[in-house]
Each structure stands twice: as C-alpha cells, then as structure tokens.
Amino acid sequence: MDRQAFLLKMLAGIFIAQVVVLGYGITWCARNGGLKTCPDVTKTYEQTFNVAIATTLALLTGTALKN
C-alpha cells in the first residue's frame, strides 16, 4: 500500500474516532451529572486528538516532501 494513501486513511480514521469518542463521552457525562461530572471533557479530547492529528500530518508532510 502506498504510504501517503495509508496516512490519509489514518487521518480519516482519527477524525472518525474523535467523533465517536467525543459523542460517547458527552453522552456519558450528560447522563451522569453533566458538567459537574466531567467539567473538562472537551478540552481533554481536544488535547488527545490534536497530538494524533499533528503526528499524522507531520508524517504525511514528510512523505510528500520525499516525492
């Protein structure tokens, strides 16, 4: 498989995972006390996925520069 295509699929997978995990987290928090239970839920998910996205984009950029 082409490395660039793999990294693009990985990036798409990260976005899909982010939506699923964030949706589940917000739903769980809403059912268990709202923001009192999870005051920093969006910030936590944002930090986690920013690292994953930045890493994948860095690898993708490095692959594009080699070609």
HSE (side-chain half, CA atoms, 13 Å) at 52: 16
**How far is the C-alpha of 45 from the C-alpha of 42, rounded, in Å?**
5
Could you tell me the pTM of the whole model?
Answer: 0.65
pLDDT one-digit tens code per residue, 39-53? 787 787 788 788 888
With contact defined as beta carbons under 8 Å apart, do 25 and 41 qualify? yes
User: Domain segments of the chain: what residues?
Assistant: 3-66
With contact defined as beta carbons under 8 Å apart, do 63 and 5 qualify? no
pLDDT range class, residue 34, cuts 50, 70, 90 = confident
Q: What percent of the chain stands above pLDDT 70?
A: 91
pLDDT one-digit tens code per residue, 10-20? 888 888 888 89
